[in-house]
A and B are shown apart, each in its own frame.
Chain A
């Protein structure tokens, strides 16, 4: 029986990105299915998958066209008030798949949805799966037909798990889909959108006052749009601030269709890098951003935590609001010990790993997805961050750090240490 596979940060960097071992590359081994990997195997089981994400368009409904297996876990959230009467299913049988006859039923199914609802929805999102990916279904054409027949916007959402590692993954594609109903209108110079997440940023994030102080009057987010009328306002933005690379294609699409340019920032937890990003944002907008008090507040919070708990040992998982390796790097730079990280190494976080290998070379990097994780034996830690770590360390204090409200900026850092303080107290 093999022990759970890991390499230290130093070993990985010494070998180089092109020489990652098979255990670190997800398409070179079977994917171990444990509660720690549920968000990988079933993105909708926790947080947002394509199905929930597609319903980010306010007052819309979704028709899932698939075999019954693809919609099974919808029960998890279908009964919650915000999704009540918003999910419908057109199930496929073997004959549908062989003949493609299910495509002829979609228009009627949409008619039935409309006739069954007391209030007319703003749009119908049609979600299709691997089956139609393989059949090569032209869902755009079917959506156009639905729109023509029923005079309602209809948008395709592609839940193609087969393409999850492509440049345009299903979660990137659905972000484009949910903004696709916006129509061009006059842009307002003091309006902007924050893009990237399906739930709003924490209200207390300093990004709001910083932008307001810089003269921005209306900051909009998709997740804060309650009505379709609110949603339509998003195309008034003078620019989009993109906080998640998965939304880049959506931002590019808005730039092309609506002439709305975008600026990209990352969600980071190292306060010096957060400061750099704000300065770069200020330069890009031609405004002065003074973030000193927020910086100092975050700096003090980290110092207080460290004074209270000393150099405690952390495990960091990848199912959290942030990048596991960037958070590990922040902890290591702030003088904490990071015993282990559970992470899937990609091009983006490899650059954080380079710095981590200098600051904390012996940190173990495990791949959650490796079959050898079945034999994982607990590392000796004091505290964990990440929902997947909860599975590995059920008897240790820690935080899942994947609440639906999105942390961002210095406030995200302060809240992270507040949450850690609360469980360690």
Chain B
């Protein structure tokens, strides 16, 4: 059955992805929900939440708010919070409730900007899509809203687009910076992790962007068109021990299940790429796929793929193991945690 999960838990949703992009940038973030979505985002999908304070709120919607609309009440609450706390911008993250009652998000943005006098972004996540869909919209809106001015280029200045804890499995920017340096990327700016809104505003200073997730492609193209910044695809955040272990299987039939650019990078590292298939539950850009790569639409797709193909090794999050075993897979397995599946982090 499509959309039926027997073995795994639901994956990180779009609202978590949207929130993760803006989390460190000093704005007021309002999850437009009744409470449960904010709890899931903060308590599960945003590992920074336990260590780094951020102004994240639930709108605290109640049944009558949903029935009557009451957008003005939400803006009033937001305005009070802004008076109490300040903030660089306001972000309203939609969830299933506003999606169902067809809340006019554009109107919320206009009302918010008028009342607060700061940029107000309302993102149309629905809770039915995955994190990368929310991140994709968030990355684009982030640069569209704040990267307006053209600054003089700084030689060799490079930035990474697409890094969030959900995408990388790392919650500390320092870990990512260290891994970037090990890949020859020095003094790199990692947007939304260990950087500020000012870095976003000065995005035009970069000579090059590196995109680590298909969710960052639209934003990278926006910056390319607006400021002429070229970009390349790379993924410097695969833990070394996983790469080393995987390399031992070079030449074997291998399936890698992970987000597309991470899986591609690992395939490149292992070598003999014609024997390796990459699969993902999330965005898969055809321009960066090889023939035979698999877009998984649910548990059934993975079950069939594994049942019908004789892989010597599968590299994936261990949350997939019960399903793989049920599909008859009994060969070698390397656990490569994928936060969007299991919520496990590396640091």
Interface residues of A (CB under 8 A from B): 1-2, 22, 26-35, 38, 40-45, 67-76, 78, 87-94, 96-97, 105, 108-109, 112-113, 116, 129-131, 133-135, 159-166, 371-372, 374-375
Contact A41 B127 (CB under 8 A): no
User: Chain A residues near B37 (CB, 8 Å)?
Assistant: 69-70
Q: Is the CB of A163 within 8 A of B78?
A: no
Q: Which residues of A contact B11 (CB under 8 A)?
A: 68, 72
* Contact between B3 and A91, CB atoms less than 8 A apart: yes
Cβ of B261 within 8 Å of any chain A Cβ, yes or no, is no
**CB contact between A161 and one of B36, B49, B130 (< 8 Å): that residue:** B36
From A35, which residue of chain B is reached at the shortest CB distance?
B50
Q: What's the minimum C-beta distance from A127 to chain B, rounded to whole angstroms?
A: 12
Instruction: List chain A residues, Cβ under 8 A from B99.
Output: 94, 97
Q: Give CA–CA (A367, B157) in the complex, Å.
A: 46
Question: Which B residues touch A105, using CB under 8 A?
Answer: 1, 4
CB-based nearest A residue for B46: A33
Q: Beyond A1-B86, A30-B60: 11 further Cβ-contacts under 8 Å?
A: A2-B84, A29-B60, A31-B57, A35-B49, A68-B10, A73-B40, A89-B10, A112-B6, A161-B34, A161-B35, A371-B57
B126 at the interface (CB under 8 A from A): yes
Q: Is the CB of B59 within 8 A of A72?
A: no
Contact A75 B13 (CB under 8 A): no
Q: Which of B61-69, B145-153, B196-204, B262-270 contacts A (4 or more CB under 8 A)?
A: B61-69
> Using Cβ atoms and an 8 Å threshold, which residues of chain B touch A160?
63
Judging by beta carbons under 8 Å apart, are B100 and A71 in contact? no
Question: Given the interface contacts A33-B56, A42-B43, A69-B40, does A109 sit within 8 Å of B35 by beta carbon?
Answer: no
Beta-carbon contact of A45 and B62 below 8 Å: no
Residue in chain B with minimal CB distance to A109: B4
Q: Is the CB of B60 within 8 A of A371?
A: no
Given A89-B4, A130-B97, check contact A41 B44 (CB 8 Å).
no
Instruction: Give 29 CB contacts A-B under 8 Å.
Output: A1-B84, A30-B59, A30-B60, A31-B59, A35-B49, A41-B36, A41-B38, A67-B13, A68-B13, A69-B14, A69-B37, A71-B10, A72-B45, A73-B39, A74-B9, A75-B342, A87-B9, A89-B9, A93-B3, A94-B128, A109-B4, A130-B34, A130-B97, A131-B100, A161-B33, A162-B66, A371-B55, A371-B85, A374-B55
Instruction: Give chain B residues whose Cβ lies under 8 Å from the Cβ of A162.
Output: 34, 61-63, 66, 97
B-side interface size class: 35 or more
Tell me the nearest residue of chain A to B59, going by C-beta.
A30
Given the complex, which residues of A lie within 8 Å of B1, measured CB to CB?
A: 90, 105, 108-109, 112
Using A67-B13, A72-B9, A93-B3 as known contacts, say yes or no to A375 and B40 having CB atoms under 8 A apart. Answer: no
Given A30-B78, A35-B49, A130-B34, the answer on whether A42 and B39 have CB atoms closer than 8 Å is: yes
A2: B residues at CB distance < 8 A = 83-85
A165 to chain B, nearest CB (A): 6
- B101: chain A residues at CB < 8 Å are 134
- A164 with B6: CB separation less than 8 A: no
Binding site for A on B (CB under 8 A): 1, 3-6, 9-16, 30-31, 33-45, 49-50, 53, 55-63, 66, 77-78, 80-81, 83-86, 95-97, 99-101, 126-128, 130, 319, 342-343
Q: How far apart sit A70 and B44, CA to CA, in the bound complex (Å)?
A: 12
Q: Which residue of A lies closest to B74 (CB)?
A: A30
Give the residues in chain A near B80, CB-CB below 8 Å: 22, 29-30, 371
> Nearest CB to that of A77 among chain B residues?
B9
| Residue of A with least CB distance to B60 | A31
Contact A134–B36 (Cβ < 8 Å): no
By a CB distance below 8 angstroms, the chain B residues around A69 are: 10, 13-16, 37, 40, 95-96, 127-128
Considering only CB atoms, which chain A residue lies closest to B299 in the complex?
A: A89
- Provide the residues of chain A in CB contact with B31, threshold 8 Å: 33
Contact flag A30-B5 (CB < 8 Å), given A2-B84, A162-B62, A371-B57: no
Cβ-defined contact, A130 with B42, below 8 A: no
10 smallest CB-CB distances across A and B, nearest first, come from A42-B39, A41-B39, A161-B34, A69-B127, A68-B10, A69-B13, A30-B57, A89-B5, A67-B127, A2-B84
Query: In the bound complex, do residue B3 and residue A92 qualify as a contact, i.e. CB atoms below 8 Å apart?
Result: yes
B14 partner residues in chain A, CB cutoff 8 A: 69
